[in-house]
Amino acid sequence: TILPPWLQMVSAVLPATYIFDGMRAVIIDHQVRGDLLALAAGLNLVWLGAGMSAFLMFHAQARERGMLLQVGE
């Protein structure tokens, strides 16, 4: 890989890395890598859970501080 070591660590947690590796395997080796697809799907679920958790946390804080616009009340 041509990425510096610190950026390789970042790319290890991005699902796109494994999708591109899987596409590369299809083009070069003519084989479908289900393991890479499953890993990318698992990382997508992790990122989805992290995003939902962050949203719920920020939403709760905004409600406590009264920062949400009250519509219809």
Q: What are phi and psi of 38, to 5 degrees?
A: -65, -40
pLDDT tens, position by position, 39-65: 999 999 999 999 999 999 999 998 888
Residue 61 has a pLDDT of 93
The tokens describing 59, both together, are 């939403």
Residue 5 has a pLDDT of 95
Q: What is the dihedral of CA 10, 11, 13, 15, to 10 degrees?
A: 150
The percentage of the chain sitting over the pLDDT mark of 90, rounded to a whole number, equals 82
Residue pair 19/40 in contact (Cβ under 8 Å)? The answer is yes
Residue 69 has a pLDDT of 79
3-state secondary structure of 72: coil
Residue 1 has a pLDDT of 73
